[in-house]
Amino acid sequence: MNRSLLFIMALLVAFSVSGQQIKETTKESQPVVLQQDTMPSPLYQYYFGRLDSLNNDTAPARYIRPNPYYYRLFTPIAFYYTPAGQICKITWRFQPLDSIADPRVDLLPTDKDAFTSIDRTNRQVNRALMDIYLTHPEVVVTTEDRILSRKVFRRDIGVNPSPKTSVLSLFKVEEPVDTSVGEVEVVIRKPNFWTTGGNGSLQFTQNYISGNWHKGGESNKSMLGYLQLYANYNDKEKIQFENMFEAKVGFITAASDTVHNYKMNADLLRLYSKLGVQAAFKWYYTVSAEFNSQFFRNYKTNTNTVQSAFMAPANLILSVGMDYKQKSGKINLSVFISPLTYNFRFVGSSDVDETRFGLDKGRSTLSDFGSKVQTTLSWTVIPSVILNSRLYYFTNYDKVEAEWENTVNFVLNRYLSTKLFVHTRFDDNAKRVDDHSYFQLQELLSFGINYKW
């Protein structure tokens, strides 16, 4: 039996009950008035009236007895799969007549659960929900998958026994609780794409050799200070702007130099900026600018001859090219290739021999156009060993200037470290020193204080 048959049966019962009432009223010679909103029978109202009013706008609203099966209509509206499944479900299947025992009875399949209260309620609720989905989709606030994904019980949380309450605490006067909310200040912060930081170190070395040491030599002391600051911009989409300031100053004492109490063994002032716009994947269109010089004068051993000074020399390097960047957990690599580079060199002191830096005698400036390759690498080999490397290569297609700086930092703790610095250089544009090639080397091993922020 389907719902139509059941509906017809209910109407018949209703008419029979109404007819009996009319006969009894006629015997008493009293007029009978039938109201249109009166339910045909209690049987129909019990089974259908309360539910039909949910899906029929013309029928008057009926009282719906509280029933937990209606929860989907009174909780925040969610999208369930059963309403659409009910609409799309086809219950009739073709059966050959010769396979049916009684075609009048078995031609249509019978749903055994069609007349249970749970199934009937769910069918009506599904129809109401489907009407909401089609006419008012804006009231749907969640989905069935989202509801089922929530964990309502956690087994990993244990129950802590409540501490014992002292009897005296029960007689204490309770302080009034301030229930006022007060003023609420709304703070809206814009995303900050800037990253700033730096590191500094102060390293010391000391070597003592007595005057009668069998192999000879001389005692010396040295100190090296280093400071690096950076401010980088990265919008996580296309633009990267890197800025760096480096300063390095080192002093050394040697008994063999009777003219000077100390000499400079390291002196560097460097400013570097690089602006990149992403081209594809890890490649960036890049423009870079670098300025480098030194802070103090440096003299030749046992003489007052000035070998270098502040702004003597000073280099300004402007480049345009492509930059490849690779950043992982332990490695931060940048390879900048510039087919167009302008190198400007200035010697601003008359006490410095300008020919030592590739300038013609009597001139204070030098301009070169060429190509440049510069790579920077920061590699955390292990948490206590960090390698920082910089390779610089420039050529004007006539002469070559190349530098390779490597610093291995052995971190003992947050404040103490040992550093090994190796700096190699090749410059066939500078004046060649007697009995020496164009290849230059500087090495320094030191121990001291290190701090990073």
Query: 88-101, pLDDT tens digit by residue?
Result: 877 666 556 555 55
Range with the poorest average pLDDT among 157-161, 172-176, 190-194, 275-279: 157-161
Domain extents in the chain: 3-149, 194-452
Q: Select the more confidently predicted residue: 226 or 171.
A: 226
Buried b (16+ CB within 10 A) or exposed e, 272-309: bebbbebeeeeebebebebeebbeebbbeeeeeebbbb
The per-residue pLDDT for 61 is 58
Average pLDDT of the chain to the nearest whole number: 79
Given a cut of 80, is residue 164 above it in pLDDT?
no
CA dist., res. 427 & res. 441, Å (int) = 12
Eight-class DSSP state of 312: B
132 phi, psi to nearest 5 deg: -65, -40
| Token pair of 203 as six digits | 């390293």
Q: Is it the case that residue 120 has pLDDT exceeding 50?
A: yes
pLDDT score of 374 more than 90: yes
**pLDDT range class, residue 156, cuts 50, 70, 90:** low
Which residue, chain included where needed, has tokens 């609409």? 87
Give 47-79 pLDDT, tens digit per residue.
556 566 666 666 565 555 667 777 888 788 888
pLDDT over 80 at 254, yes or no: no
pTM of the full structure = 0.56
Check residue 33 and give its pLDDT. 39
Distances (CA, A) of 341 to 158, 287, 323, 334, 344: 67, 10, 14, 18, 10
Is the pLDDT reported for residue 428 higher than 60? yes
**Is CATH 1.10.10 the right assignment for the domain spanning 194-452?**
no
Write the DSSP assignment of 238-302 as a string of letters: SEEEEEEEEEEEEEEEETT-SS-S-EEEEEEEEEEEEEEEEEETTEEEEEEEEEEE-SS-EE-TT
Total residue length of the chain: 453
Q: Which of 35-44, 155-164, 309-318 has the lowest mean pLDDT?
A: 35-44
pLDDT confidence of 123, banded at 50, 70, 90?
A: confident
Res. 362: pLDDT tops 70: yes
Give dist(CA 378, CA 406) in Å, integer.
Answer: 10
